[in-house]
Amino acid sequence: MTTANPSIDQANTLPLKEKLAKTTAIQRRRAFLLTLPLVLFLLISFVFPIGQMLFNSIHNNKVSAVVPDFATAIQAWDGQGLPSEATFEIFVKDLAKAKKVREVGRTVGNMATRINYEMPGSRSLFTKSARKVGKIKQGPYKEALIKIDKKWANPQVWLTLQRASHDISPAFYVAAMDLKYNETGEIVEADELYQIYLNNFVKTLWLAALITFICVLLAYPVAYLLSVLPLRQSNLLMIMVLLPFWTSLLVRTTAWIAILQTEGVINDLLVYFGVIGDDGRIQMIYNQTGTIIAMVHILLPFMILPLYSVMKTIQPTYMRAALSMGSKPFYAYRRVYLPQTIPGLAAGTLLVFILAIGYYITPALVGGQDGLLISNLIAYHIQKSLNWSLGAALGTMLLVVVLLLYWVYNKLIGIDKLKFG
């Protein structure tokens, strides 16, 4: 087989099927190029930060970055008694060197903070000693360091240092699950007085479920009314549903404070009409009730809108047909109408539940001592305590819980049935 121009020849002999495959492949590539901006956007604004969060929750190099030689040397220690004189010498020299560093992430203070997470009260041990180790010019280093502060004779300090010398560690998940390392380095349950995260997870999920349930109860009739009323009335009603959407979240929350507080509108009215006495004013805010009321109000449109969009498409003839065939109204509703609204119901439930889990401004403002949800604790660690790794670990756990629920939900209802509008 020798032809002058094999390519043309080949093209002519290609079967139609392959040609088609080729052109569709080109089209598909083009279509992909069109979605590229979105893909890039998702990568930068979604995948990358979440990856960073996952990484932060297990990675913390605040010991190895500050005292690098020591971080290597301490690994050889068997954990019995105190480390060797040679290790002490490396530590003293590293610490003296680190004292002069002012680069972010590499100062003695960074290491002290890291150790303090696992051994509360040890922060000043590092910062104070660092100021004095420069004076130690010769051995025995062990004695000299313990002379600066006798806490250096406590093996727990060295065990914690050894553990924290690993850049990758589960330490922050240990803390996030109400566990701790004890004096000998085993993972045990934290003291009951300090347990907070697991209970809080349960509380947050329960509250979100309750809020979702109330939203369903309130939104279903409203959405139904919206879908059956004549256009003029339903438009007016729609504006009333959407109006809160156009108001700032803070304004709405503050309005609830003005209405619900003990000297507020509702209590004043009740006292005025003699329903309750002036000393019997009802506490409706700065507790769980306040959180539920304000959050239901804020999240209600997210339930009404998907429900409405689905109900609008349901033909009234179906119900009429069922009724004309002798079905009782409730039976017809349950067997004919309700199943058709499931896609909207499912979408609204998912939307409200997931939003409710992550809400934290409203509970913080109106929740009082019950207003501490898991997202508030995450915000606390990101903004106040600056323990970003613990915040990241809690965030990751929240993400996993949401994904798990999503999976269960998908099994029960089927995500392809969702209809947002």
By CB under 8 A, name the binding residues for another protein: 101-110, 112-113, 116-117, 120-124, 127, 193-196, 199-200, 203, 261-263, 286, 364, 368-370, 372, 377, 380, 382-387
The two counts, helices (H) then strands (E), for the chain are 21, 2
Helix (H, G, I), strand (E, B) or coil at 86: helix
Q: Which is nearer to another protein, 121 or 326 (CB)?
A: 121
Q: How far is CA 35 from the centre of its chain?
A: 28
Please state the separation of Cα 110 from the chain's center in Å.
Answer: 25
Minimum Å distance from CB 195 to another protein?
A: 6
Angstrom distance (rounded) from CA 239 to CA 241? 5
The Cα-based distances of 105 to 115, 127, 235, 355, 383 in angstroms read 14, 15, 57, 34, 17
CB 73 within 8 A of CB 86: yes
Strand (E) or helix (H) holding 180:
strand 179-181
If the CB atoms of residues 265 and 415 are measured against another protein, the closer one turns out to be 265
> Residue 387, Cβ neighbours under 10 Å: how many?
20
Please tell me the distance from the alpha carbon of residue 283 to that of residue 332, in angstroms, as a whole number: 43
The nearest distance, CB 346 to another protein, in angstroms, is 32
Give the CA diameter of the chain: 107
Q: Which one, 167 or 370, has the nearer CB to another protein?
A: 370
Q: Which is nearer to another protein, 204 or 341 (CB)?
A: 204
137's tokens: 């010019």
Cβ proximity to another protein: between 126 and 308 the closer is 126
The terminus-to-terminus CA distance of the chain in angstroms comes to: 62
Q: Which is nearer to another protein, 348 or 371 (CB)?
A: 371
Closest separation between CB of residue 160 and another protein, Å?
14
311 vs 366 by CB, closer to another protein: 366
Alpha helices in 229-337 (DSSP H): 231-242, 249-260, 265-272, 288-311, 316-324, 329-332
Q: Which residue type is seen at 168?
A: I
Identity of the residue, 96 or 237, whose beta carbon is nearer to another protein in the bound complex:
96
Q: Which is nearer to another protein, 269 or 403 (CB)?
A: 269
**Minimum CB–partner distance for residue 371 and another protein (Å):** 8
CA distances for 190 relative to 172, 175, 196, 372, 384, angstroms: 13, 8, 10, 20, 22
